[in-house]
Amino acid sequence: MVRKSVLDNGIRVLSEMIPHHDAVSIGVWVLTGSRDEKDDENGVSHFIEHLLFKGTKTRTAQDIARTIDSVGGSMNGFTGRECTCFHTKVLKGHLDLAVDLLADVLLHSAFDPQEIERERSVILQEVKMVEDTPDDYVHDLFDRAFWGNHPMGQPVLGRTEKIRSLSREQIVGYFQEQYQPSRMIIAVAGNVDHERMLDLMGHAFSEVPSSAASVDRVKPETHSEISLLERGTEQVHLCLGTKGLAYVSPRRFASHVLNTVLGGGVSSRLFQEIREKRGLAYSIFSYAPSYMDTGFLAVYAAAERETVGQVVELILSEFETLRRAPIRQEELTISREQLRANLLLSLENSDNRMARLAKNEIYFHRFFSVDEVIDQIDRVTIDQVRELSNDLLRPEHFCLTLLGPMTQQQLDRDLGDLWPTRVPS
């Protein structure tokens, strides 16, 4: 059973009772992320996520770590483009402690100057780790090419030069501006009573003053281009993407099916054609991230420099096939079953159920039951997938990013005849 209440200051509290679980997952979601940062603030949302665990007025960073470990729980956070989440998972008998700890780090963090400098070094190491991992870094490079100078194109972790220059005043100012009750959602899933949770949250978070502040976001434009970063890796890593759908699009279920057929599993077209039949790549998949007002559909692959042109040609060929010919009934059936199973299996985990509560509220302001979602999956038709393919998989929208041991001359030679809308990089 899912219930929703609103605290006096505007914080939304949602809960889902799972009677047979011994654990409770709690997440405080703040509707701010990297797309809300100005250019000179890039990385500040992620920086704040780190700093809130580095000490409060009454607890040191070590105290916070020991407190959650002492009850066998877990506590962490993550930052995205549109939200930041602070979450904990404990046995139901330690619910009071978990709520107190979350409230303390969110409301009473010290932002100690020494901790800021220490954590600045940690984050810079995290950025370097991503840049040293080509199958991660190529996605940041693709985002930058696809979204251009819009904040959506900036890395969530932040750029090195911006992280180094962020001052305590900027960090605290951003925190005070963005962490408002109207932008906060508390989601709870597990063996917990809603009224008890509401009492705990009301007491813990009542000191946050109400605010009518709203998020002012500009929808990004997309860019079609080829970009290359030459790097001495063993393989060329690539992302080839196109326009996608917003999170709330009524065609989102057709998009899920399209992504699954294209590269969403081991039976998908790209996996079977490029890995299984031709042996051109070990890793190849498609993915379709969605946001409040936009999204994209992209393919990732890693291949030898000598065969990367062939891999790109096969991906483009599959795009064209999806535009011009309907998917098979067997593919639709398998995709539906895969999507159903992924949903149902995810519900075995209280963390996933907590996140599902929050995302439904963030994007739809209502909760969709499992039966509603499965019904929408089952309603997707072959014609809907083909219509969507024809809208999205258009050459004028394509963006290709490559990272690896390839020169511009080699790129022009191997891909020049393939690329339908060549834009100089």
Which residues participate in catalysis according to the annotation?
A: 49
Contact 362, 83 (CB under 8 A): yes
Q: Assess contact for 34 and 151: CB atoms under 8 A.
A: yes
Q: Are 376 and 21 in contact (CB under 8 A)?
A: no
Q: Which long-range contacts (CB under 8 A, 24 or more apart) does 166-169 make?
A: 166/41, 166/43, 166/44, 166/47, 166/120, 168/111, 168/113, 168/116
Q: How far is it, in rounded angstroms, from Cα 273 to Cα 263?
A: 10
- Listed as own residue / partner, the contacts of 193-197 with beta carbons closer than 8 Å and 24 or more positions apart are 193/17, 194/3, 194/5, 194/15, 194/17, 196/95, 197/13, 197/15, 197/95
- Contact by Cβ (8 Å): 241, 296: yes
Phi, then psi, of 193 in degrees rounded to 5: -85, 135
Q: Give the whole-angstrom CA distance, residue 223 versus residue 242.
A: 9
CA dist., res. 231 & res. 406, Å (int) = 8
Neighbours of 5 (CB within 10 A): 16
